[in-house]
């Protein structure tokens, strides 16, 4: 069973518009949550992570994410998207079996001029 769900396979936004990418997970306790970004032909780069404490976390490149325990969600947001944000975004949850991180299927972001 999929442990991490990213409901949107592909999202298109206009440059300058706001962005929200959804992530839902199933986990027995408080998880460690991550967002990664993958530019074409590149590996994954960590954008931000949540372990505990403040449920709103700030990351690199102007991204933020909010952990909502009641909704089992960890959505990624950005107030104003730039063309360089076009990439694929992965949500990840762990640990499983003390060593594994499970990834969602990814959301591909297209930015229109």
Partner 1 sequence: NAGVTQTPKFQVLKTGQSMTLQCAQDMNHNSMYWYRQDPGMGLRLIYYSASEGTTDKGEVPNGYNVSRLNKREFSLRLESAAPSQTSVYFCASSENTGSFYGYTFGSGTRLTVV
Residues within the interface to partner 1 (CB under 8 A): 4, 9, 32, 34, 36, 41-46, 49, 51, 90, 92, 94-95, 98-106
- Choose between 15 and 72: whose C-beta lies nearer to partner 1: 72
Nearest distance in Å: CB 65, partner 1: 13
Nearest distance in Å: CB 103, partner 1: 4
DSSP per-residue letters across the chain: --SEE---SEEEEETTS-EEE--EE--SSPPEEEEEEE-TTS-EEEEEEE-SS-SEEE-GGG-EEEEEGGGTEEEEEESS--GGG-EEEEEEEEEETTTEEEE---EEEEEE-
Evaluate whether 78 touches 85 at the Cβ level (below 8 Å). yes
- Choose between 79 and 95: whose C-beta lies nearer to partner 1: 95
- Choose between 29 and 113: whose C-beta lies nearer to partner 1: 29
- Choose between 41 and 53: whose C-beta lies nearer to partner 1: 41
Nearest distance in Å: CB 38, partner 1: 8
Evaluate whether 9 touches 105 at the Cβ level (below 8 Å). yes
Nearest distance in Å: CB 94, partner 1: 4
């Amino acid at each position: 069973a999929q442990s991490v769900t990213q409901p949107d396979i592909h999202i298109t936004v206009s440059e300058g518009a706001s962005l929200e990418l959804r992530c839902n997970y199933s986990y027995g306790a408080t998880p460690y949550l991550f967002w990664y970004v993958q530019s074409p032909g590149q590996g994954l780069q960590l954008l931000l992570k949540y372990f505990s404490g403040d449920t709103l976390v700030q990351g690199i490149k102007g991204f933020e994410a909010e952990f909502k325990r009641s909704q089992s969600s960890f959505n990624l947001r950005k107030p104003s998207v730039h063309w360089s944000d076009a990439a694929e975004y992965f949500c990840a949850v762990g640990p499983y079996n003390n060593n594994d991180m499970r990834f969602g299927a990814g959301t591909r972001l297209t930015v229109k001029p």
